[in-house]
Structure 1
Amino acid sequence: MQTETADALRRIYEKGSVSFSGVKDMRADIARLQIGGSLSITELLDIAKLLETAARVKSWEDKPSEKKPEPAVVEDGAAHWTKNRQMAAEEAGAGAGRRESGEEADQPEKDSLTELFCDLEPVPSLVREIRRCILSEDEIADDASVNLRRIRRQISLSEERIHSQLQQMVNGPARAFLQDAVITQRDGRYCLPVRSEYRSQVPGMIHDQSASGQTIFVEPMAVVKLNNDIRTLEAEEKKEIEKILQELSEKAAEQSDALISDIQILSELDFIFARAVLAKKMNATQPDFNEQGIVDIRRARHPLIDRRRVVPVDIRLGEDFDQLVISGPNTGGKTVSLKTIGLLEIMGLSGLHIPAKEHSRLSMFTEIYADIGDEQSIEQSLSTFSSHMTNIVSFWEAADEKSLVLFDELGAGTDPEEGAALAISILAHLHSRGIRTVATTHYSEVKIYALSTDGVENACCEFDVATLRPTYRLLIGVPGKSNAFAISKRLGLPDEIIEDAKGRIADEQESFESVISDLESRRVSMEKAESAMTKDQAEIRRLRRSLEEQEKKLAESKDKILEKARQQAADLLRDTKQYADETIRAFNKMSGNAISARDMERRRTALRGKMDKMESSRKKEKEKTPHKAVDARKLQVGDSVKVLSLNLKGIVRSLPDKSGNIDVQMGILHSVVNVKDIELLDEVSIKGPSYEHTATGKVRISKSVSVSPEINLLGMTVDEAVSVLDKYLDDAAIAHLDEVRVVHGKGTGALRAGVQNFLRKNKHVQSYRLGEYGEGDTGVTIVKLK
């Protein structure tokens, strides 16, 4: 059933919804057909609707899938379906490759519903015959048979003759005897309304009279025979219609097996697709089943609570422990968590997808027993405690290791000490029988039992003491504190009563509750530390990727510089060889001709000039700016320097150590270099994001050297953010940053849309994308600069 639901859900996503309206349970009518009975007009129309529904459903199955864009953000059930669809697309692509290679074309992939759709038999010939003969529930078509057409034509002719004769009487001498000049009907026979005092003046049969007795309705003798003829023809028409219905019934009887099959298949498909529609509505997923009694439901949502308000919970049972004791404050969600386990198990075993994260696990329990709620009854003399015990006794012997047992407030309604002892005894006995059990409690003794017993685990519904409100989160592994005093204070109970109650608690009980409270505070602190650690790890990964990319770019830059140097050396060698060849040719030419020494000297001087010019150009290309030695004692943090080996500008971030090494920040690159490898620039020290003057009086934007690879736009309007972002991108481009991170938050999405709209048009932007997991998700945009 789970597979059927999943296959139906896939079809709904791919092809849209399908309607099963028009299906009625007609098995009794079809059984009457099989023994030779005849169906009425309405029943035959129901058969036509049934077959038309079968044809519509079969046609829906045969239509190609609608190509819809994938959702931008999906979760749970939709994400699971999207993943399956992508896998199917990959398989389809592989199949196309096989077809291109000459293999036989693949057949459409079959699933659990394919056979049901294939077995539908619309019987179009029977539908056409029924629709041809029957126009509506009150009308048979004239063309249903030749004889019916003839009879109705004769009836029509007879009615015309009657109207003609009666019209002559109305317009003739009988007009003076009539109450009204109209022709009417009584008991299906045409009559005239005659005044009672003139009844002898119009001979004929009297069929009725008015309530006042002033008017009688007379069928004139002239039309009695024609009216009798119509009655005879109407009887023939009725027999002919019965004959037509009998013939249609016989044709339907020939297809009785197909009709019964269609009813069964359509009813089954209707049920399957109803489960799929519910799964889509709840954004539910298909669970994984096991027979080891393991329940592992992740991000489970109670199906009857609004999705916008429900707090998802994680529930485990049967793997490391077979009993779960849930404690915590009233109104904290203990009973909701308990019911969520039972409801999702029943839903899963009924073939329904469950509102939880994909690959949640359910067990194949044969029975689920629950003692939830207060069934006290004055009429049956049942108190709260006795009603609970009566319910427990009813399934005590029937429960086994294939059962799931749920207790709400086990042992409540009686003396606390006796109730706690009884609750522990019940749980211990079920534990010894290997029965999976979940119970809620307020008893400290039961919490201690769960702490001290192997295979039994505590859980609690979290309570925020700061706000005095529950969070509805289920935390497995720690017992919960009842927080009765905090809740009572929030509800308005006077402080003096609460303080007096605190003084009446036994020291042992107060100590235990304090331990629980301390455990809870430590757990919250650990969760916060873990969350901070996760963020730090994500930032470290991001920085590592950034450094790796920077190192890669530096290596590429180095290769380009070396290649350029090799090219220049080759050009120099080529030019030198060319000049040498020209010189040799000139001297050879001069030796054969009588050329004056003055001409030879002029040519030699020109050649020497060219060589000197080329040598000067080569030296300028090769030589670097004179390296001014830096005095390490005068170096200060914030000084603007140039790293000679990397040919990059940067800012000093630390004073030299004993070896003369300093930290230099070069854009997003952070490196340790020696003072011998740096040169002080004529810019003033860079202290922060501002415009500064150099020693030569020129204005430099020192901010561009130290621009951060990230900008935070949180809390700004779209106009403010665009203005700040525009300036920031200019600085980032000047600093030669390749990639920056724009933090705009999630919120309503308006700021993100405004930022991305601006990025789309900015001249510095090569591309941009939303952040991935660990980068800030949809709360940030990663921008790649040109």
Structure 2
Amino acid sequence: MNQHTLEILEYQKIKERLSKHTTSKLGQKLVEKLKPVTDLDYIQQRQLEATAAKKILIREDAVPLGGIRDIREALKKSNKEITLSAKELLNIANTLQSGYRLRNYFLDLEEEDEEEEYQAVIKHAVQIGDFEPLVKQIKRCIDQQGEVMDRASNKLRSLRRQISSYKEQIKSKLNSILASNKYEKFIQESLVTIRDNRYVIPIKSQYQNDFPGILHDRSASKQTVFIEPMEVVKLNNKLRGLIAEEEDEVYRILTELTFAVQGELKEIEQTLKLLAFLDFTFAKAKYSQQIEGAEPLLNKEQQLKLLKARHPLIELEEVVPVDVELGRDFSTLVITGPNTGGKTVTLKTVGLLTLMAQSGLHIPALSGSEVAVFDQLYGDIGDEQSIEQSLSTFSSHMTKIIDILENCAENALVLLDEIGAGTDPTEGAALAMAILDNLHQRPGVNTVATTHYGQLKTFAYQREGVENASVEFDVQTLEPTYRLQMGLPGRSNAFEIAARLGFDEEIIAQARSFLDSKEGQVDEIIQSLEENKKSIRDDKESIETKKEEVENLKAEYESKLVEVEKKEKEIKKEAYAEAEQIVAEAKEKVDQVIEELKAEAEVEEATADRAKSKFDSTRHNLSKEREKLEDKIKEQEIQAAPQDLQVGERVRIKNLNKDGKIIELLDNKEEAVVQAGNLKVNVEISRLERVAVEEKEKAKQNKEATVSKLRSQKTRKVSPKLDLRGLRALEAKKKVDKYLDNAALAGLGNAEIIHGKGSGVLREIVQELLAEHPHVNDYRDGQEGEGGLGVTIVDL
């Protein structure tokens, strides 16, 4: 596609707006590479995917796209057997985990998608790989801060314990030196610091030869030297050795994990492509929602039909939709009308929407709009400066048009703005007609041109396959309406505007007399056509309004009818249910009375005595068995009582199922005082049991599993948007706080809080809360197209 045309149609700005809807750098990279293509099947497939993604966004829970990282460089390093850092491995694990979450989301969605409306996206998402064992292996060794954990290996755990022990020994000796009266006058400051990875203390420079130790550094002022006392040299040496061993062990663990990644490299790369594709596709869907876009119908027959098309770079509140046709009954369209009337915007709308459609993007137009897939798109678009345009400007336009004429081939769309402008009007109009005629004679070339020249209106009527169009101008308000009128050339309106501004009527009459009679007649015909068309349009709008009112009344009637029928069924259902319940209760009471009467009649006194005797005997036997059981339990408890308990040990009170710490062992050695929370209790030792370290770990794992499960549940439920409009300040504050917790738990990367503009109080409250909230990384006001000051965008 012609690069100059992409620039003048501001295609890059569309990509910039699209990029804002991605959640990862991978998605942004695909947006950067986006360009219009000419393969019809490929374009249609990309359009279907955007449509399916948009339906999912509208109908389903929030898509969990957070957590995807650009890990391509790390994967390249692993392929070259370069050991990855802990942070790189953690990013790989988090990305694969995000992929696994996405895959499960779409697998669930696939079961609900009975009409297969989401299949264009689901068929890609379900191919995401399952790397759960690899993710577990990495996360068993690396924490969320990107540090290798002690539990990564037994050797690492042992080394770190020794390192911690030696550090404490060194600090203890150094602190004793700092506290000693012997060295008090030598010491510059009572603190322990590190130089060259060795523990040192600051000594006054004048005493450096009197203090026994190794000098490692000097202060900038030369007043202080940092000396390692001889007493800790051996300990520091041992510590350095242990740290070197620790680094070797960490490197070994990271290398092992790198090889684990390398073993699944191809599958990971494929999954990464799928994650990038999903992020990119849902960005297209979000952008379609923003511009109120629709999937266009595509063809290779050079036929274009845009319905209520809007320029995507003009705000929705300001843009005026236009209907444009090209390629069916005519291949050349000439648009006339006043300055600032919307001719250039219409020209750019046609070009930019064509580029968007051929890039697989939805277009801001009504559903049913058609766009042709062109092999080439050329344009010469520039604002007309004045009547005294310079030769250089004219030359520039001619140079571009020459290039177009030399390269333009079959299946091309050509856009020409103010064709022939910048020179003598007579010569310019003649040149414009010649250029248009040349392009019109070429097979498979479609042209849209804007002009001021009246001669081109006649040219359009005289050539088969050439059509006039104009931008409407309201003479009453002296302002353009920006509406495009197909099939009708524009009028200059110069005399009407002059008259409305109070120009002398005699001068206007004289001016009219100077006009060629044919020109005057044409102008009158155009004026008549405009008035008729405006009348027809007004009538049509009135009919449409009334039709809409009738449709609304019909819909309201049908809705109320359905509601009445539903209410009737509910009342009947409730009545039947209540009646059945009454009957059932009555039947139950009758049956109960009958059973009681039967029992009373059948039970004899002798039977009752035998039953009582048997009951007493059984109770006596149970009492004996209970005593034996209690003795046995007590004996077992004494045997199972923990031995050699020490003050400070963690224990569990078995009968209360409470954990605590021994703070005192009583003299009888059969009881201990246990601190359980705020409560101190005397407990028999037989009632205690030691709390194993493994149980703590298990409890921690259970807690993590619960959090993970809760996160998984939240992921499907949390929306990326929170609407606070209409809420009071206190309600809004509570709702935002709870929403941020849920959003963080769900792994959302970004959130949109809608508070409206109003007086700005709600916005201030929200942003005060965001400024202090632990889950919030950053926040900002919404930009144009996002809601402006009525919305706050949150980076979680």
Fold agreement, TM-score > 0.5: yes
Change in 2 beyond 3 A, CA 1:250/1:475: same
Q: Which residue of 1 aligns with 2:94?
A: 49
Quick one: which of 477, 485, 504 aligns to 1:475?
485
Instruction: Give the stretch that moved more between structures: 108-117 or 456-465.
Output: 108-117
Greater Rg, structure 1 or structure 2?
1
Quick one: which of 267, 271, 284 aligns to 1:262?
271
Q: Which residue of 2 aligns with 1:143?
A: 151
Over 6 Å off, 4+ runs: 488-500, 532-543
Q: Do 2:391 and 2:423's aligned partners in 1 also have CA atoms closer than 8 Å?
A: no
Q: Do 2:55 and 2:118's aligned partners in 1 also have CA atoms closer than 8 Å?
A: no
Quick one: which of 279, 287, 290 aligns to 1:278?
287
1:274-313 aligned at under 5 Å gives the runs 274-313=283-322
1:170 aligns with 2:190: no
Instruction: Give the stretch that moved more between structures: 151-160 or 16-25.
Output: 16-25
Change in 2 beyond 3 A, CA 1:193/1:139: same
Change in 2 beyond 3 A, CA 1:195/1:469: closer
Q: Do 1:5 and 1:272's aligned partners in 2 also have CA atoms closer than 8 Å?
A: yes
Please state how far the C-alpha of 1:188 moved relative to its aligned partner.
Answer: 2.0
Q: Which residue of 2 aligns with 1:513?
A: 523
In the superposition, the TM-score normalised over structure 1's length comes to: 0.59
Q: Which residue of 2 aligns with 1:18?
A: 63
CA distance, structure 1, for counterparts of residue 544 and residue 167 of structure 2: 94
Please state how far the C-alpha of 1:436 moved relative to its aligned partner.
Answer: 1.2
CA distance, structure 1, for counterparts of residue 538 and residue 75 of structure 2: 69
Deviations 1:391-415 (A, max 9, x none): 1111213223311111111111111
Deviations 1:269-313 (A, max 9, x none): 221111111111111111111221111111111111221222211
Please state how far the C-alpha of 1:46 moved relative to its aligned partner.
Answer: 2.2
Please state how far the C-alpha of 1:446 moved relative to its aligned partner.
Answer: 0.8
Q: Which residue of 1 aligns with 2:164?
A: 156
CA distance, structure 2, for counterparts of residue 541 and residue 204 of structure 1: 96
Change in 2 beyond 3 A, CA 1:488/1:263: farther
Change in 2 beyond 3 A, CA 1:136/1:323: same
Q: Do 2:495 and 2:508's aligned partners in 1 also have CA atoms closer than 8 Å?
A: yes
Q: Do 2:189 and 2:202's aligned partners in 1 also have CA atoms closer than 8 Å?
A: yes
Q: Which residue of 2 aligns with 1:208?
A: 217
In the superposition, the TM-score normalised over structure 2's length comes to: 0.58
Deviations 1:97-138 (A, max 9, x none): xxxxxxxxxxx6662222210111241222222222222556
Please state how far the C-alpha of 1:332 moved relative to its aligned partner.
Answer: 1.3
Letter in 2 for 1:392: I
Change in 2 beyond 3 A, CA 1:419/1:247: same
Q: Which residue of 1 aligns with 2:197?
A: 188
Change in 2 beyond 3 A, CA 1:51/1:479: same
Quick one: which of 211, 215, 220 aligns to 2:229?
220
Secondary structure of the structure 1 residue equivalent to 2:81: coil
Change in 2 beyond 3 A, CA 1:471/1:241: same
Instruction: Give the stretch that moved more between structures: 41-50 or 246-255.
Output: 41-50
CA distance, structure 1, for counterparts of residue 501 and residue 535 of structure 2: 28
CA distance, structure 1, for counterparts of residue 78 and residue 105 of structure 2: 30
Instruction: Give the stretch that moved more between structures: 335-344 or 484-493.
Output: 484-493
1:251 aligns with 2:296: no
Letter in 1 for 2:92: I
Quick one: which of 100, 106, 111 aligns to 2:119?
111
1:422 aligns with 2:435: no
Secondary structure of the structure 1 residue equivalent to 2:362: coil
Quick one: which of 391, 399, 406 aligns to 2:415?
406
Please state how far the C-alpha of 1:374 moved relative to its aligned partner.
Answer: 5.1
CA distance, structure 2, for counterparts of residue 414 and residue 122 of structure 1: 68
Please state how far the C-alpha of 1:256 moved relative to its aligned partner.
Answer: 0.6
Q: Which residue of 2 aligns with 1:455?
A: 465
Q: Do 2:384 and 2:418's aligned partners in 1 also have CA atoms closer than 8 Å?
A: no
CA distance, structure 1, for counterparts of residue 391 and residue 281 of structure 2: 42
CA distance, structure 2, for counterparts of residue 492 and residue 138 of structure 1: 78
Quick one: which of 86, 105, 110 aligns to 1:60?
105
Change in 2 beyond 3 A, CA 1:531/1:133: closer
Letter in 1 for 2:103: K
CA distance, structure 2, for counterparts of residue 363 and residue 46 of structure 1: 43
Letter in 2 for 1:13: I
Q: Do 1:15 and 1:66's aligned partners in 2 also have CA atoms closer than 8 Å?
A: no
Secondary structure of the structure 2 residue equivalent to 1:454: coil
Secondary structure of the structure 2 residue equivalent to 1:332: coil
Q: Do 1:295 and 1:316's aligned partners in 2 also have CA atoms closer than 8 Å?
A: yes
Please state how far the C-alpha of 1:319 moved relative to its aligned partner.
Answer: 1.1
Q: Do 2:52 and 2:118's aligned partners in 1 also have CA atoms closer than 8 Å?
A: no
CA distance, structure 2, for counterparts of residue 534 and residue 212 of structure 1: 87
Secondary structure of the structure 2 residue equivalent to 1:116: helix
CA distance, structure 2, for counterparts of residue 307 and residue 66 of structure 1: 37
CA distance, structure 1, for counterparts of residue 191 and residue 547 of structure 2: 99
Pairs aligned (count): 502
Secondary structure of the structure 2 residue equivalent to 1:286: coil
Q: Which residue of 2 aligns with 1:464?
A: 474
Q: Which residue of 1 aligns with 2:406?
A: 397
Letter in 2 for 1:32: K
Please state how far the C-alpha of 1:48 moved relative to its aligned partner.
Answer: 1.9
CA distance, structure 2, for counterparts of residue 480 and residue 59 of structure 1: 59
Please state how far the C-alpha of 1:165 moved relative to its aligned partner.
Answer: 2.5
Secondary structure of the structure 2 residue equivalent to 1:410: coil
Q: Do 1:329 and 1:484's aligned partners in 2 also have CA atoms closer than 8 Å?
A: no
Secondary structure of the structure 2 residue equivalent to 1:48: helix
Change in 2 beyond 3 A, CA 1:223/1:432: same
Deviations 1:351-389 (A, max 9, x none): 11111111111112111111111599xxxx962221111
Please state how far the C-alpha of 1:328 moved relative to its aligned partner.
Answer: 1.5
1:36 aligns with 2:36: no
CA distance, structure 2, for counterparts of residue 113 and residue 139 of structure 1: 37
Return the structure number with greater relative CO, CA threshold 8 A, min gap 6.
Answer: 2
Q: Which residue of 2 aligns with 1:130?
A: 138
CA distance, structure 2, for counterparts of residue 35 and residue 65 of structure 1: 38
Secondary structure of the structure 2 residue equivalent to 1:140: coil
Q: Which residue of 2 aligns with 1:436?
A: 446
1:384 aligns with 2:429: no
Q: Do 1:374 and 1:388's aligned partners in 2 also have CA atoms closer than 8 Å?
A: no
Letter in 2 for 1:115: K
CA distance, structure 2, for counterparts of residue 226 and residue 8 of structure 1: 63
Change in 2 beyond 3 A, CA 1:211/1:279: closer
Letter in 2 for 1:525: S
Q: Do 2:110 and 2:122's aligned partners in 1 also have CA atoms closer than 8 Å?
A: no
CA distance, structure 2, for counterparts of residue 530 and residue 216 of structure 1: 93
CA distance, structure 2, for counterparts of residue 528 and residue 170 of structure 1: 96
Secondary structure of the structure 2 residue equivalent to 1:316: strand
Please state how far the C-alpha of 1:498 moved relative to its aligned partner.
Answer: 6.4
Change in 2 beyond 3 A, CA 1:538/1:170: closer
Q: Which residue of 2 aligns with 1:698?
A: none
Please state how far the C-alpha of 1:63 moved relative to its aligned partner.
Answer: 4.5
CA distance, structure 2, for counterparts of residue 535 and residue 211 of structure 1: 84
